[in-house]
């Protein structure tokens, strides 16, 4: 497969390198931040053979590539860095673009906010997954060999596993700065100061703190999201303003220093406490929904999850899932719903595999089912089979919804941040039985509903 040619086509059809502000990726998606949406030829990008689908959220173009992501991403980055290799497409404005209706201002603003949060947290997600799965691995060892928990090896590895969560604000600041186009280190420095050991000690002491005679709210900022986002935004605009007003000859000396000082003063007095307060309210809203809707809250979120994944909105709540694990110390909503959605996608693929008579499609669906259930990667199943065959999506929603209700009734609760795979069930600790029963119900329901409803496989067999 010619990944260089594919990368060239993607960049050219995205309006060229001059139309792209930055490039990143998650586990299955290439993410391009677009300057002018009108220059992107979405239909032609979808027509590229290995592209499973695309999502356009705000200014972020998400191209779903599944297992082909990394080789394509590597070539895209190389070509982006060497912009002379890419044709910059000018004036790619179609008739449909000219006739495009103005969107609702509130809806557009909401999409931009969600896109910004999603882009800010995306770079750290692999780290959260790595740390979470290391926690799962250590937990499995201690279940089989209790003395290991007191060993120095366990203690040191536990520290490593906790790093992505404890220092999450620093990683969020990095992602936000990259998204905004500022210098990442400034926001990272200020957020690092908020989790600095001496600051944490002062917070624990409970003694009154003042910055320029302004009271400093005593907050534990580890594993928080919104304070880091607000500080990163502040650092970006402070740097931008200072670059304009400070003379060029002394700019290298004073821009950085003044940026971090201004951001830190505003961070510890206003932005940090405000972000922590808002973040707490958001988590409480989710907990309220879980408490008042009962088991139906998990079922509803799980049933809606395939559509959230397709729009990329599922990443926006990831940090709040981390915060729920940190405080109040458990998650009865997000992780159960995420996990059961993955099981439902795998179950639907199993349903397709069991019903179809085409050997190639059967083999592909069995492979995708394993990917969903064991590896926790669903986009290839969603875009490659379930969405294209349409009716299996009903199986996904039915299985995830019913499994979520069962999980809610039985009290499935995640106590450690892990990945949404069957290998992560130890994170449910004393409620493992509840999540195991919910997983079985989910897979069986989604497979049976898919088989009963059937599907028209003519359009998909030729592409397998």
Task: Quote the pLDDT of residue 299.
Answer: 92
Beta-bridge partners for 23: 32
d(CA 353, CA 357): 8
d(CA 173, CA 72): 27
CB neighbour list of residue 404: distance below 8 Å, 6 or more residues apart: 295, 298, 299, 300, 301, 302, 303, 336, 337, 340, 438, 442
Tens-binned pLDDT, residue by residue, of the chain (464 aa): 788 999 999 999 999 888 988 888 877 788 898 888 889 998 899 889 888 888 887 778 889 887 788 899 889 988 887 754 444 443 333 444 444 444 466 666 776 777 788 778 878 878 887 887 888 888 889 888 889 989 999 999 999 998 988 898 999 999 999 888 889 999 999 999 999 999 999 998 988 899 998 999 888 898 888 899 999 999 999 999 999 999 888 888 899 999 999 999 999 999 999 988 887 777 677 777 777 787 889 999 999 888 887 766 676 677 677 777 766 788 888 899 999 999 999 999 999 999 998 888 899 899 999 989 998 888 888 888 898 888 999 999 999 999 999 999 999 999 887 778 898 898 898 999 999 999 999 999 999 999 999 988 775 655 55
The pTM of the whole model exceeds 0.75? no
d(CA 341, CA 376): 10
Tokens (6 digits) for 140 = 């499995």
d(CA 375, CA 367): 11
Task: Quote the pLDDT of residue 459.
Answer: 56
d(CA 408, CA 340): 12
DSSP type of residue 196: -
Q: CA 59 from chain center: how many Å?
A: 16
d(CA 247, CA 374): 57
SS3 209: strand
Domain boundaries, the chain: 3-86+93-101, 167-285, 294-461
Q: DSSP secondary structure string, 326-355?
A: HTTS-BSSHHHHHHHHHHHHHHHHHHHHHH
d(CA 377, CA 371): 6
Task: Quote the pLDDT of residue 88.
Answer: 41
H-run or E-run covering 404: helix 392-410
SS3 215: strand
Task: Quote the pLDDT of residue 337.
Answer: 93
Tokens (6 digits) for 40 = 């992107």
Task: Quote the pLDDT of residue 267.
Answer: 94
Q: Return the CATH number of 3-86+93-101, one of 3.40.1180.10, 3.30.1360.60, 3.90.226.10, 3.50.50.60.
A: 3.30.1360.60
Task: Quote the pLDDT of residue 89.
Answer: 41
């Amino acid at each position: 497969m010619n990944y260089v040619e594919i990368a060239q086509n993607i960049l050219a059809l995205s309006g060229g390198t001059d139309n792209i502000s930055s490039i990143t990726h998650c586990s299955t998606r290439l993410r391009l931040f677009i300057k002018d949406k009108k220059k992107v030829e979405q239909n032609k990008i979808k027509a590229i053979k290995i592209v499973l689908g695309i999502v356009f959220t705000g200014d972020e173009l998400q191209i779903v590539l599944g297992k082909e992501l990394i080789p394509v991403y590597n070539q895209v980055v190389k070509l982006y860095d060497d912009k002379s290799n890419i044709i910059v497409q000018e004036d790619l404005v179609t008739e449909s673009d000219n006739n495009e209706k103005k969107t609702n201002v509130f809806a557009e603003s909401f999409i931009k906010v969600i896109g910004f949060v999603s882009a800010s947290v995306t770079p750290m997600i692999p780290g959260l997954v790595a740390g979470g799965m290391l926690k799962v691995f250590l937990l499995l060892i201690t279940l089989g060999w209790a003395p290991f928990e007191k060993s120095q090896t366990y203690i040191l590895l536990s520290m490593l596993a906790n790093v992505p969560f404890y220092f999450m604000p620093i990683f969020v600041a990095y992602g936000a700065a990259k998204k905004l186009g500022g210098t990442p280190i400034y926001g990272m420095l200020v957020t690092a100061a908020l989790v600095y050991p001496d600051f944490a000690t002062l917070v624990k002491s409970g003694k009154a703190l003042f910055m320029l005679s302004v009271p400093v709210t005593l907050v534990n900022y580890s594993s928080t999201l919104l304070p880091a986002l607000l500080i990163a935004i502040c650092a970006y605009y402070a740097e931008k303003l200072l670059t304009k007003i400070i003379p060029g000859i002394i700019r290298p000396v004073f821009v950085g220093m003044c940026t971090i000082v201004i951001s830190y003063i505003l961070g510890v007095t206003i932005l940090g406490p405000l972000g922590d307060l808002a973040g707490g309210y958001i988590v409480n809203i989710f907990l309220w929904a879980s408490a008042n809707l009962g088991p139906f809250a998990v079922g509803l979120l799980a049933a809606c999850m395939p559509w959230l994944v397709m729009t990329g909105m599922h990443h926006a709540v990831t940090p709040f899932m981390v915060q729920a694990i940190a405080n109040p110390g458990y998650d009865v909503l997000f992780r159960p719903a995420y996990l059961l959605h993955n099981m439902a996608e795998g179950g639907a693929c199993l349903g397709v595999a069991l019903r179809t008579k085409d050997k190639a499609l059967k083999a592909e669906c069995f492979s995708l089912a394993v990917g969903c259930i064991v590896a926790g990667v669903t986009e290839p199943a969603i875009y490659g089979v379930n969405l294209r065959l349409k009716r299996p999506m009903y199986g996904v929603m039915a299985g995830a919804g019913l499994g979520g209700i069962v999980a809610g009734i039985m009290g499935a609760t995640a106590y450690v941040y892990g990945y949404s795979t069957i290998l992560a069930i130890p994170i449910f600790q004393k409620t493992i039985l509840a999540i195991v029963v919910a997983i079985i119900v989910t897979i069986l329901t989604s497979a049976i509903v898919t088989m009963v409803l059937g599907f028209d496989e003519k359009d998909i067999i030729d592409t397998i």
